[in-house]
Amino acid sequence: MFLALIFLIFFNFFGLPGVDGATCITKSTCAWTDFTLPLCISGTCKCFNSSFVPIRSGCGLQMTHRPVVSAQQGKTNQVISGQSFELSCYFDKYNDYYTFEWYLGETKLSTRSNTYTAVADENTVGSFTCRVRTSARLLTSPLSYFFEVVKLGGASGQATSNERPTIYVPTNSAVGGSTVILECNNIPMGYTDTIIYTVNGVNTTYSSVVITSANAGKYVTCTLTSPSAGVTYSRPTSAVGNLPRLTTSISSVSVVVGIGTSQRLVCALTPSAIYLQSSPITYTWKANRIHVHTLDNMMIAKHT
Ligand SMILES: *[C@@H]1O[C@H](CO)[C@@H](O)[C@H](O)[C@H]1NC(C)=O
Ligand SMILES: *[C@@H]1O[C@H](CO)[C@@H](O)[C@H](O)[C@H]1NC(C)=O
């Protein structure tokens, strides 16, 4: 009883910051459990101490690791006015089933998944944060750091971008006749206008390049053109990248453990198999010097 009184005084004066969760009207709605106190402050049941946070059913332990909000792969934190964009809330700790919570400024969004999609206007951009809850163990993560989404163009958008695109060439070497797909990265989300690739001095809008002795090792750049929303790019052209050099053989082979399962072994080649297309590849696997009957680039390790 005495202890309860102490808590009552303590939490009335130093109530935890408002977190939506176990809602209450009076303290009788808040069950007194190991982590939840029979206290109702501003419509939320209060928790034992700051290691716990209100959740729907009471209070759960707070996780210490923060999730991270990020833009689509290869994109900046900018979005072209009127175009759709997608953010991800990434969290790699713990293996429970997660529920995601998203906030735009102080406003909680209705999205429950790890991605958030919207069409960019003045009401849908700003500072995003996310949080993760696990169902089974009732854990809650702290909020992520802010991720600011900036609108380019349109009525209230920024008219000039100072971001510079980058060019990504997916391999350093390739057999003549193979195709590489160039990627122009660090561009705004929702960019749908033309990208010009300058490949060995020639302008093209195609991102795929067939490697020949004439272009192997030569320079490539990508350039953004001023898009529909009226945005200008102060640095529209990427720094130069190099097309892969020609190779006629596999320069290295290694066995790597497959992603997701330790039992799947993969035979990794340099350059990777898709840049060796003109020469058929045969895989031979041995386990303890004994041939394994698979002709695939992958094998499942069996414990005997
Ligand atoms: C909260 O209470 C738990 C359980 O008694 C304790 O382990 C933890 O250290 C406390 N956390 C804080 C911040 O006081
Ligand atoms: C190729 O594209 C770049 C970037 O837009 C431009 O500056 C250059 O003049 C173009 N060159 C030719 C030959 O069209």
What is the position in ligand 1's atom list of the atom closest to the CA of 50? 13
C-beta atoms surrounding 92 within 10 Å: 8
Predicted TM-score (pTM) of this structure: 0.75
How do residues 168-220 score in pLDDT, each as one tens digit? Answer: 999 999 999 999 999 999 999 999 999 999 999 999 999 999 999 999 999 99
Give the DSSP letter string of 85-151. Answer: EEEEEE--S--S-EEEEEEETTEEPS--SSEEEEE-STTT-EEEEEEEEESSS--BPPPPPPEEEEE
Model pLDDT, residue 16? 38
Model pLDDT, residue 150? 97
For residues 98-108, give the mean pLDDT. Answer: 94
Residue 1 above 60 pLDDT?
A: no
Model pLDDT, residue 43? 85
CA 208 / ligand 2 centre spacing (Å): 18
Closest of 157, 183, 181, 152 to residue 168, by C-alpha: 183
* 263 half-sphere exposure, CB direction, 13 A CA radius: 5
CA 16 / ligand 1 centre spacing (Å): 14
Does residue 193 line the site of ligand 2, with CB under 6 A? no
CA 139 / ligand 2 centre spacing (Å): 55
Model pLDDT, residue 4? 40
User: Which residues have C-beta within 8 Å of that of residue 263, sequence separation ≥ 6?
Assistant: 300, 301, 302
What is the position in ligand 1's atom list of the atom closest to the CA of 49? 1
What is the position in ligand 1's atom list of the atom closest to the CA of 52? 1
Closest of 37, 30, 47 to residue 5, by C-alpha: 37
Confidence of residue 23 (pLDDT cuts 50, 70, 90): confident
Q: Which amino acid is at 29?
A: T
Residue with CA nearest ligand 2 atom 5: 223
Residue 129 φ/ψ, nearest 5 degrees: -135, 160
Model pLDDT, residue 279? 65
Q: What is the largest CA-CA distance in the chain?
A: 86
Residue with CA nearest ligand 2 atom 8: 203
CA 60 / ligand 1 centre spacing (Å): 12
For residues 104-129, give the mean pLDDT. Answer: 95
Residues with CB under 6 A from ligand 1: 48-51
Model pLDDT, residue 27? 75
Model pLDDT, residue 14? 36
C-beta atoms surrounding 264 within 10 Å: 14
On whether the CB atoms of residues 25 and 43 are closer than 8 A, the answer is yes
How do residues 214-259 score in pLDDT, each as one tens digit? Answer: 999 999 999 999 877 789 999 999 999 999 999 887 877 888 887 6
Better pLDDT: 93 or 117: 117
**Closest ligand to residue 48's CA:** 1
The H or E element containing residue 269 is strand 264-270
CA 203 / ligand 2 centre spacing (Å): 6
**3-state SS, residue 275:** helix
102/173 Cα distance (integer angstroms): 43
CA 201 / ligand 2 centre spacing (Å): 9
Model pLDDT, residue 100? 93
The H or E element containing residue 208 is strand 208-210
Confidence of residue 11 (pLDDT cuts 50, 70, 90): very low
Residue 125 above 80 pLDDT?
A: yes
Confidence of residue 9 (pLDDT cuts 50, 70, 90): very low
Does residue 294 line the site of ligand 2, with CB under 6 A? no
Model pLDDT, residue 34? 76
